[in-house]
Structure formats: structure tokens, C-alpha cells
């Protein structure tokens, strides 16, 4: 089943899948579970761990054992919660053939706003304010720096929504059940952002068209950087205090070797997509970036792969920050499911 | 750390633990994780799976290996998500010594209401209405049948809040960030419950005192049944269609052997606390109840232990509805952590 198709079916009953991805038109539920897909609404609905209840998998035994794990119940403490091991397992344990997860009521009111800020500290303060003021309806808190906005303009001709040309642009979305309440909360929140001197500018979308224009900027980021030539892509998680420091450290380290240092991502989840672009692949730049960047991330309490797994590229660095005890435990769990090591070999662990 | 102490510390920063239990004054975080504690706000904030990010455990190896699993990041796909295996593991894998989980903004508005209904089907319709009308602020949906209300009165002298003496009493709670918005939503919801003929009666608490009176009824249920003499307690999960049928089936089966069949629980989570009381222990009643009750629950797609694990009492029935493949997988996962089988032996699996 493709995510968007499931979501369309749920819409008929007033429900919705609890996550949403740019790839929803092609990605499949089994893959979403295997990669523990995050997406743009994690702030509101939580990760897939919050929704997964059970699954069926085919194990790589001689005769392809089919095992049903968990149940279709919200509460079931009759066994180890094994289905959760499959979240983020990236095909290492078995092939997922059936998933039971909870759906959420489809929001009848979705509001968007864009906010400009001149310092990264202000962005963090705005996030804290959103967590308390928008609280139960806050669904997205996305971040784009000025280099991202410039790339969107140069590469795709997409102009900014905010006129103030701020150093940082934030896209906030709420999902709720009452448009009057939600717009009132958003208005109060934006007023406080400006009133407290955190934001230079704040614009609430007045129509679906205005909202779409805001999201087009955020969703076009991967395409815009791809147009620059070669891209060293990164998908890291960091504590907020180090989130943008990484971009500054990398900028200083690359100096003239890089064309652009473009940072956007899900600030609300601490997830930075840091892209270093060049006209074409440069071995010198690669050597300057890695493993430096991964080591810096781990030294600052972050993860070298927030959403996109380890795979082959990051395999040499997969053990960064992990103890031998943890790695050994994980390998032995894998053996329980896949004693011959035939599932997605030469990757992950 | 005791749950209430952690929660009090978080309160200073405007945050809150994402779960709440009757035992909060004495229960400890490690135990909450080991039992995958649910509690009364699961509807709003999700299970502990939604909040757990990492943990440290001492493994039962010869030299007591200390292993740190997961991280303190919302998104981290660099390894198997092993911390989630500890949720509901009941001391079978290791001793949890440190937990990293996310806190939630403390709600500034908490509203309560009690609703009466004459059929269980209406209770389910009211739940569906609450899921869409109260949506993002719905935090509790608790259920008490008339036998429960009668027991509360006879055993503890606690009188009902609703004057209509309905067959079923529902306690709804919302947790939000704006009292004006939340009371408006609750009012509209109650009006619709009565207007659509689902509820006989609906009362919104007008003060903290009125709210406390409602919660006292729900929270006194375990004490009230304990006063009846001997209690066969059950903690089961069921799909809504079978939730109250079980109570009716058990009532018919016990006939005059039982004193009271008392049903209350977290209807919003499908979690029924079904209590069969007698003056003193009756082997005949025990034989009539078990394994019949457990088999009925599993046959109807339920779980024989929603929250309270397997332990010793339910061990003979732990394999009900579980395939040998699943049980074998779980046993082999246990061996990875506890090769000598010394952790909480003779229990669970």
C-alpha cells in the first residue's frame, strides 16, 4: 500500500495517517516502518513508535517463516514489544508484509505562518514560545536559512514570502479542529513573537494558496540544492544549542572549496539537513568534510543519521559514539532474526 | 526517581511528564518503563513508546555490563531502536538505571465533564464524537458502569455526580493551553451528546472542586471493590465491539456465585478493568472464570493483560493467541540479554 492511497481511504472516515512525507505518492507503508519515517508532522503526532501496534513479517529462515507480532490493541503487555524493533531496522530483520497502526482524526483546520528572525537564538526562543502558545495544535516547525532562500531564488526562481529578507525563515503549521480557535492562537503567537523582539516579521497565510506558497519554499529545498551541481547531503540530529553551530563550523572549514552551505530542516525535531554544494565532486572537499562532520556531530550529542539510516555510505562511521556493548547487543539481536546474515547485507551493522 | 518528584521539577519549567498514574507518589521511572505504564492520559500524549528516547541498563552478565542505548534525540536512525524492547519487559532483560524521555508542555487549562448514557453503543458513539470534537485536547475518556457507581456508594459512601442515575457514566477530561477555547469545545461537545440523543445527561465541572469530585469517583474504584471481600481482578484490552459484552458474558456465567460484576476502565484505550467480587475466595467461581475469561478475550481479539503484565498468575495462559514462532523469537531475544535466565525467573516467558 502506498502512503497516499491509505491516507485517501482514511479521509472518507474523517481520519488521517499520523505522518506525512514528501514521497507520499510513491513510498510504501512497509518501507515507512522499516525506515522509521519521520516527516513534517512529528511535532504534533509523534514518531511511528507512537502509532505502531503490530506487524507481520517474513523472516529469513529456510522456509520463510511468517510471524505476526504485537496486536491491534493500544494496550497489550503480554509479551516483549517486538514490533518496535522493526522501526528503523532497514530490512535487517525481515520483510514487513502487514502493519497495524493507529490513525488520527483528520484536522479540519490547518493554519500556516512564516516568521523571520535575525539570530538563531531567536529561532529557538520562537520554538519554545510555539510549544507553549500553540501547544496542542503545533504540527510543524520548519527552518530555512538565508542561503537556502537565496538558492531557492537562484535555482528555481522561487521568491521569499517575507519582505524583510531575514537571516532565518521559520515555517509554522498548526493542525486542529476549530479554525476560529486556531487562527486566534496563531495570531496571538505571532504578535508575541514580534512584541518580544524575537521576530522581525510574521505573516499568517490567509488562504490555501498562500499556505501552499509557503510550503512550496520548504518542499523545494532538495530540488534547489540538487540544481547547484554536486551536493554533499547530510541528515543529522543535534541538540538545539549546536544545531546551527555545525553550519557555521562547516562554513569556516570549507572556505572557498564549497559553493554554498545550505541549511534547512525540521528545527522542531532538532533535525538539520545540511547541504554543501560544489560545481562538481571534489575529493579535497570530501576529505575536509568527513569524518570531521560526523565526529563533530557525535561530540556534540547528535546523531549522524536522523532519518535516513546508515546504509553503505555511512557504514565506516556507524560505530561513532556507540559502545562495543551496544553494537554487540544489536548484532546478536539481528542474528535472532537472521542467523545467516542474508538480509540487506554489507549495510548498517 | 519517583514519578511525582520528576513531574514537580518539570512544573518549574512549564513542562510535565507525558503520563500520570494513581501510584505517582510512589512509583519509579524505571518501573514505569519496565511495565510500559499507561495511565489516564494515554489518549492525549500516547504510550511511553511515543516519549522514550534512550536508556541505560545493567545487564545480567558475569560482571554486570552497563549499556547505554538510544540517545537523547527525537530522531536517531543509526541503530536498532533497542530501548523500546525494555518497554513492558518487566525486568526480564536488565535493570533500568537511567531513562531519557521527552516531556510535554504543561497544560494551562484542564476541563472535566461527566456524561450519562443508557446503552454501551451510545458510549462508543460519544467516544467517536469526542475524538473529533475535542480532538487535540481530549486527554481522558473513562468509563464506569452502574454496578461500579453502586459499589462506590455502598462501600465508600461516594454519591454519583449525575442525578439521572444512568446505566453508564463517562468521565471526559481535556488538557489544553486556552481555557476559553477548551470550555467552548467541551460545551459544544456536551450539547451534541445530548442533542443527538446519545447522552441522558452531561455536566461540565465549573471548578477544581467539582472536577476533583468527578475524579474521586473514578480513582476510588479499586478501593471500593477491595472493600467487597475477595476480588477476581482483570485488566484486559478489547476492541470496542466486545468491550462490554465480556462483562455481560461473565455475569451470565457466574450467576449467583459472584456478588458483584464491576466494570470500569479506560474506554478510550479499550482497556477494561473487570472485577468479580465475592465475600471470600471461591474455588468454584475461579474454575468457572478461568481460563474461560482469558480464552474469550483472546478469541475476541483482545489482550489478557493490557497494562499489568503476565507475572506468575497468568503465566499458564501467556501463550494464548501467540504463535510458537513469536514465543520462540521472544525467548531468543531474552537470551541475548540474559543468557543464564536469572532476571525475574519463573515469570512472563
Burial B84-99 (b: 16+ CB within 10 A, else e): bbbbbbbbbbbebeeb
Predicted pLDDT at A265:
96
| pLDDT surpassing 90 at residue B314 | no
A60 domain residue, yes or no: yes
A92 touches chain B (CB under 8 A): yes
pTM: 0.95
* Chain A contact probe: residue of B329, B334, B347 with most A CBs at under 10 A: B329
Task: Summarize pLDDT for A138-147 with one digit per residue, the tens.
Answer: 999 999 999 9
Predicted pLDDT at B307:
86
B333 touches chain A (CB under 8 A): yes
A332 domain residue, yes or no: no
Predicted pLDDT at B22:
84
The span from the CA of B210 to the CA of B198, in Å, is 23
Predicted pLDDT at A269:
94
Q: Which residues in chain B touch residue A105, judged by CB atoms under 8 angstroms apart?
A: 131-132, 135
Predicted pLDDT at B316:
87
Question: A74 vs B42: CB contact, 8 Å cut-off?
Answer: yes
A336 domain residue, yes or no: no
Question: A87 vs B92: CB contact, 8 Å cut-off?
Answer: no
* Chain B contact probe: residue of A54, A55, A75, A132 with most B CBs at under 10 A: A75
Answer yes or no: do B216 and B117 share one domain: yes
Answer yes or no: do B236 and B215 share one domain: no
Task: Summarize pLDDT for A248-299 with one digit per residue, the tens.
Answer: 999 999 989 999 999 999 999 999 999 999 999 999 999 999 999 999 999 9
The span from the CA of B73 to the CA of A136, in Å, is 21
A145 domain residue, yes or no: yes
Q: Which residues in chain B touch residue A177, judged by CB atoms under 8 angstroms apart?
A: 132-136, 185
Answer yes or no: do A129 and A194 share one domain: yes
B248 or A310: which leads in pLDDT? B248
| pLDDT surpassing 70 at residue A349 | no
- With contact defined as beta carbons under 8 Å apart, do B26 and B2 qualify? yes
Task: Summarize pLDDT for B192-202 with one digit per residue, the tens.
Answer: 999 999 999 99
Single residue among B59, B81, B105 that ends a domain in this structure = B105
Answer yes or no: do A206 and A251 share one domain: no
Tell me the pLDDT band of A318, cut-offs 50, 70 and 90.
confident
Answer yes or no: do B24 and B94 share one domain: yes
Task: Summarize pLDDT for B34-89 with one digit per residue, the tens.
Answer: 999 988 899 999 999 999 999 999 999 988 999 999 999 999 999 999 999 999 99
- With contact defined as beta carbons under 8 Å apart, do B74 and B18 qualify? no
Report B:206-225 residues touching A (Cβ under 8 A): none
B301 domain residue, yes or no: yes
- With contact defined as beta carbons under 8 Å apart, do B348 and B330 qualify? no
Task: Summarize pLDDT for B160-178 with one digit per residue, the tens.
Answer: 999 999 999 999 999 999 9
A80 domain residue, yes or no: yes
B349 domain residue, yes or no: no
Q: Establish how many alpha carbons lie within 13 A of residue B47's alpha carbon, considering only the half-sphere containing its beta carbon.
A: 28
Answer yes or no: do A119 and A196 share one domain: yes
Predicted pLDDT at B39:
85
Task: Give chain B's mean pLDDT.
Answer: 95
Report A:307-326 residues touching B (Cβ under 8 A): 307-310, 318, 322-323, 325-326
Structural domain that includes position B261: 228-318
Three-state secondary-structure class, residue A277: strand
A72 touches chain B (CB under 8 A): yes
Answer yes or no: do A134 and A192 share one domain: yes
Average pLDDT over residues B209-222: 96
Answer yes or no: do A137 and A52 share one domain: no
B234 touches chain A (CB under 8 A): no
| pLDDT surpassing 90 at residue A65 | yes
Question: A81 vs B85: CB contact, 8 Å cut-off?
Answer: yes
Could you list the beta-strand ranges (E) of chain B. Answer: 15-16, 52-58, 66-70, 95-101, 104-105, 109-117, 138-145, 168-176, 201-204, 230-237, 260-266, 271-278
Question: B85 vs A88: CB contact, 8 Å cut-off?
Answer: no
What ipTM was reported for this prediction? 0.95
Task: Give chain A's mean pLDDT.
Answer: 95
Tally of domains in chain A: 3
Answer yes or no: do B161 and B251 share one domain: no
Answer yes or no: do A81 and A10 share one domain: yes
Answer yes or no: do A171 and A119 share one domain: yes
Q: Which residues contact A345 (CB under 8 A, 6 or more apart)?
A: none
The span from the CA of A243 to the CA of B73, in Å, is 12
B97 touches chain A (CB under 8 A): no
**Where residue B30 sits, what CATH number does that domain have?**
3.30.465.10
- With contact defined as beta carbons under 8 Å apart, do A179 and A109 qualify? yes
B175 touches chain A (CB under 8 A): yes
Answer yes or no: do B127 and B87 share one domain: no
Average pLDDT over residues B327-331: 95
**Where residue B263 sits, what CATH number does that domain have?**
3.30.70.2740
Single residue among A83, A105, A127 that ends a domain in this structure = A105
Question: A336 vs B329: CB contact, 8 Å cut-off?
Answer: yes
| pLDDT surpassing 80 at residue A179 | yes
A330 domain residue, yes or no: no
Question: A82 vs B85: CB contact, 8 Å cut-off?
Answer: yes
| pLDDT surpassing 70 at residue B238 | yes
Amino acid at each position: 500500500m502506498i502512503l497516499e492511497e491509505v491516507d485517501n481511504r482514511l479521509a472518507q472516515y474523517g481520519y488521517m495517517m499520523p505522518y506525512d512525507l514528501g514521497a507520499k505518492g510513491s513510498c510504501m507503508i512497509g518501507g515507512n516502518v522499516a525506515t522509521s519515517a519521520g516527516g513534517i508532522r512529528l511535532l504534533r503526532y509523534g514518531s511511528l513508535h507512537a502509532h505502531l501496534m503490530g506487524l507481520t513479517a517474513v523472516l529469513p529462515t529456510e522456509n520463510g517463516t511468517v510471524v505476526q507480532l504485537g496486536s491491534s490493541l493500544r494496550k497489550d503487555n503480554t509479551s516483549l514489544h517486538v514490533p518496535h524493533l522493526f522501526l528503523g531496522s532497514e530490512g535487517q530483520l525481515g520483510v514487513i508484509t502487514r502493519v497495524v497502526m493507529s490513525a488520527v482524526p483528520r484536522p479540519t483546520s490547518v493554519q500556516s505562518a512564516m516568521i523571520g528572525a535575525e539570530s538563531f537564538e531567536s529561532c529557538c526562543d520562537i520554538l519554545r514560545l510555539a510549544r507553549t502558545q500553540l501547544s496542542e495544535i503545533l504540527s510543524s516547525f520548519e527552518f530555512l536559512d538565508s542561503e537556502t532562500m537565496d538558492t531557492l531564488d537562484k535555482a528555481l526562481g522561487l521568491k521569499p514570502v517575507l519582505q524583510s529578507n531575514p537571516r532565518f525563515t521559520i515555517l509554522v503549521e498548526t493542525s486542529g479542529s476549530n479554525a476560529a480557535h486556531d487562527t486566534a492562537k496563531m495570531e496571538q503567537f505571532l504578535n508575541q513573537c514580534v512584541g518580544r523582539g524575537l521576530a522581525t516579521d510574521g505573516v499568517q497565510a490567509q488562504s490555501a494558496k498562500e499556505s501552499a506558497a509557503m510550503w512550496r519554499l520548504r518542499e523545494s529545498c532538495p530540488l534547489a540544492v540538487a540544481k547547484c551541481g554536486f551536493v554533499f547531503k547530510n541528515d543529522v540530529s543535534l541538540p538545539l544549542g549546536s544545531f546551527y553551530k555545525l553550519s557555521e563550523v562547516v562554513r569556516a572549514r570549507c572556505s572557498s572549496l564549497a559553493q554554498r552551505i545550505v541549511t534547512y530542516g525540521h528545527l522542531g525535531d532538532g533535525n538539520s539537513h545540511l547541504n554543501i554544494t560544489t560545481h562538481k565532486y571534489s575529493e579535497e572537499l570530501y576529505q575536509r568534510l568527513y569524518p570531521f562532520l560526523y565526529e563533530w556531530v557525535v561530540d556534540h550529542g547528535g546523531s549522524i543519521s536522523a532519518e535516513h539510516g546508515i546504509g553503505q555510505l555511512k557504514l565506516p562511521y556507524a560505530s561513532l559514539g556507540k559502545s562495543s556493548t551496544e553494537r554487540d547487543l544489536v548484532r546478536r539481536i539481528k542474528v535472532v532474526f537472521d542467523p545467516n546474515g542474508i538480509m540487506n547485507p554489507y549495510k548498517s551493522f
